[in-house]
Chains A and B, each alone.
Chain A
């Protein structure tokens, strides 16, 4: 009961002291919020278009290929690729140099014979992509970009080819002039052939040649059967042109995962820094004010001081978290839901980062040292926590609770259902808070009774 009263009195004292230390308050809360907002903008900003060197080695006589009504060239390929990347047209040596210098992220080469291969249809034409091994993450992103671009080009070409094949089928059925893969000619057509054979059959019967007429009738039946089968081939050819179609519908702006990553990142950095810096500063200030020996005489034990300051840090983090979420909800079209579930998530994240800060505050000799150490440890760990899909980064940042917090926040923002991993993450945050809280209590106890 006495510990509870002491904790309540010290809690109120800390609030009053903070209220009177505007400079400190600006450093402890304003600075993390500014960093968080900048980070959210940086992470939620549009995709950066990679810059790619484009080297065209296919400069022979045959520069274009006719596909049906369309005439395609290497330049058409390049124009279509520019929808996804910034192409810089360079020679081979210049491109290699630009890649080595880091001025471009990759080199896309159109090899000699590309158009000829495309025209012949005998072997698939190949585009060559060289990426920078020093930037594996960016290289992966460029590969995905170009794979997607090449897929779309292939799909367009396949559609053109199949349309041409269907025209050919139509010509075989109905007759006319054909032009494909650079060849052209005139076809009679199965319909006309059937009619001609029927006329011949009729004439042979009229001339008293039934045996011959019977052979012609069999030929006419065959021609009719081929025509019927070709009619059946049309839908199959359509299916080949586009076996699976992906319909993309644009969702509400800002609802894409990158925005969720931005908001989660802002929350992790904001809450992480507020919790760590606030707790570290509050505890080291007790030491700087020389009151620990007075408090340690039974007025307020180390346990009381630790839980009281951890709670204050958690409350401050929760308020900052809700303010950031409120700003997002009010100023953007992003929908923030599950407001009640955010409460334990923010409180536990604040408690974990606060306990981490308390350990720093208990070990540091003065407030400036505590703040510097807190910043040096918390900022990189919070940023590491934002690396998606990396277990090492997750567990490294989990030391201060940032990794689990980042996953919980992203889950609450984008997952359609709240999964067990959210509750597991909250459990990890509670354990982190407990471990650092106990360590801070031990360190503070030694300081108070030294």
Chain B
């Protein structure tokens, strides 16, 4: 793990009378893999979308190392891409939108990196679930992010596709010193693929510690009646 990347202080999010996130403090270091887990409605997606800049927090602040906001890659739960465009066209478009000087070259680099060469000229809507998710992830890499946020990335994948995806994620984190924050409902997936686990319940941070320190029983005990 590298130095600090992001510090969130007192993050809150309210939807009318509903408090989706209670004041929350978290810090994220470069090269760190963090799992967000908890039951449905715990606030996992809300926290990720705030970190991704999709929505603004109701209160609190995000403090980036060095002051200026750094590029963030966002992988929503459902693939966010254009099914009528090919893999290459999707990557070229998003590379262009991210401000790449040469979107075509950037797209080719992403195709190689995500091992999508075989599917480069196939329409995204015609790809298998696993390949679609790889394209979804490759699009998030188009902006060369320092922080990659994934919302339940393996929810629709088969076991072998999950293994391949996590293997690729490990390579990315190691190669780019990129921080990774993902949400999951599986404690096993969290402990296997993360360095640190954050457990959320009803918008509150119930646990923040090394993945190895929390087993299934401890997780259930934390959630109590919410489990």
Inter-chain CA distance A291–B81, complex, in Å, is 6
A412 → chain B closest CB, angstroms: 37
Choose the segment among A12-20, A72-80, A233-241, A342-350 that binds chain B (4+ C-beta atoms closer than 8 Å): A12-20
Inter-chain CA distance A291–B82, complex, in Å, is 8
B97 near A17 with CB under 8 A, answer no
From B49, B55, B79, B85, give the contact of A17 (CB < 8 A): B85
Given the contacts A13-B85, A294-B74, A289 and B80 also touching, CB distance less than 8 Å: yes
Residues of A within 8 A of B83 (CB): 289
Smallest CB-CB separation from B52: which chain A residue? Answer: A297
Residues of A within 8 A of B84 (CB): 16-17, 20-21
B81 near A289 with CB under 8 A, answer yes
Smallest CB-CB separation from A300: which chain B residue? Answer: B97
A46 within 8 A of B: no
A17 near B96 with CB under 8 A, answer no
B180 within 8 A of A: no
From A2, A289, A297, A300, give the contact of B53 (CB < 8 A): A297
Residues of B within 8 A of A16 (CB): 84-85, 89
Smallest CB-CB separation from B82: which chain A residue? Answer: A289
A371 → chain B closest CB, angstroms: 17
Inter-chain CA distance A6–B85, complex, in Å, is 17
From A2, A289, A299, give the contact of B94 (CB < 8 A): A299
A450 within 8 A of B: yes
Bitwise, B54-77 to A at CB < 8 A (1) or not (0) is: 111000000000000000101010
B58 → chain A closest CB, angstroms: 12
B54 near A297 with CB under 8 A, answer yes
Q: In the complex, which residues 163-207 of chain A have their Cβ closer than 8 Å to any Cβ of chain B?
A: none
From A2, A5, A289, A296, give the contact of B54 (CB < 8 A): A296
A230 → chain B closest CB, angstroms: 92
Inter-chain CA distance A427–B72, complex, in Å, is 43
B98 within 8 A of A: yes
A-B CB contact pairs (8 Å), 25 listed: A5-B96, A6-B97, A9-B93, A13-B93, A16-B85, A17-B85, A20-B84, A289-B81, A290-B76, A290-B78, A290-B80, A291-B80, A293-B54, A293-B74, A293-B76, A294-B74, A294-B139, A295-B97, A296-B54, A297-B52, A297-B54, A298-B53, A299-B98, A448-B54, A450-B55
Residues of A within 8 A of B (CB): 2, 5-6, 9, 13, 16-17, 20-21, 289-291, 293-300, 448-450
